Amino acid sequence: MDKINKDAVAILKYVGGPQNVNSLVHCVTRLRFELKDSHKIDEKKLNDLSCVLSIVHTGGQDQIVIGPNVAEYYDIIQQKLAANKQTDSNKLPEANSSNKVKSSLTKIISGAFMPLLSIMSGAGMVKAILTVLTSLHWLSATSTPYLVLAAAGNSVFYFLPIFVGITLAKEFKADPFVGGALGAALLEPCFTHLIGKHGLNFLGMPLDPIDYSTTVFPIFVIIGAYVILERLLKRIIPQQLHFF
């Protein structure tokens, strides 16, 4: 951990220091910096760090490839940036507000899907293996082994609204179990039984149920509404009643 902390501090120093960083997000393997001046990067010293695999400049970002443990470096650098903001009275100009919005959206989407990459990759491998086995006629698509393994491969994608509801709620600092429950509501048999029926209404509003399995956009909208509603209700409801 000491080495990670030391390398993270060095990375921040070699990209020009906290004062040169407009924003920072990360993906699966990369730290994605938006810098005020990319010419201040000391690429030679960055490449000399054992944790840095490569440096990529693309899309207006200066990306440092770290590997699967990139989140550890990200957390440390963000702490340093936050500490610098508290002591630095010079704030970023308003012209960078659009960049801040883009970075926030990227962080939210990344935070929603990054924790799911391992199970999605595993499920995808199961589905790929089943496709190969059936194509070679080594396994029948109606056999019990196929159906059991297919259930394992399909489950992650079919119940994706539940998983995204959990990770997205965490990203917004809301209750992840409520997020999962909202995703599950889209897949609950009482609701899915209504799919295909017409002329329905919910509290006077027209309702046209569709299949939300494997989709992610609806749960993004639902969690967004949930977070806004939760924060509003917490302001007007006494703390003793928050649980209910």
Of 242 and 90, the one with more pLDDT: 242
Chain-wide mean pLDDT for the chain?
Answer: 87
- 183 pLDDT higher than 70: yes
Where is average pLDDT lowest: 53-62, 102-111, 112-121, 145-154?
Answer: 102-111
**168-194 average pLDDT score:** 92
Would you call 154 exposed, middle or buried from its count of C-beta atoms within 10 A (0-12, 13-18, 19+)? Answer: middle
C-alpha span between 178 and 21 (Å, rounded): 35
pLDDT, tens only, 42-56: 999 999 999 999 999
Tell me the average pLDDT across 186-190.
92
Per DSSP, the residues of 156-173 read HHHTHHHHHHHHHHHHTT
Distance CA 192, CA 225 (A): 22
| Structure confidence at residue 222 (pLDDT) | 94
High-pLDDT (> 70) share of the chain, %: 92
Q: Taking the domains of the chain in order of start, what are their residue ranges? A: 2-92, 117-241
Residue 23, SS3 per DSSP:
strand
Contact 231, 242 (CB under 8 A): no
69, 31 in Cβ contact below 8 A? no
> Average pLDDT of 148-174?
93
Please name which of 180, 191, 159 lies closest in space to residue 223, comparing C-alpha atoms. 180
Interval 88-102: pLDDT, tens: 545 545 545 565 556
Look at residue 96 in the predicted model and tell me its pLDDT. Answer: 56
User: What pLDDT does residue 98 have?
Assistant: 60
The strand order across the sheet containing 30-35 reads: 21-26, 30-35, 61-65, 54-58
pLDDT of residue 210: 87
pLDDT of 117 > 80? The answer is yes
pLDDT at 92: 47
The answer to pTM > 0.75 is no
Instruction: Give residue 61's pLDDT band: very low, low, confident or very high (50, 70, 90).
Output: confident
Specify the range with the lowest mean pLDDT, choosing from 108-112, 140-144, 157-161: 108-112
Q: Which is more confident, 88 or 114?
A: 114
> Which superfamily, per CATH, for 2-92?
Glucose permease domain IIB (3.30.1360.60)
Q: Taking a C-beta distance cutoff of 8 angstroms, is the pair 72, 141 a contact? A: no
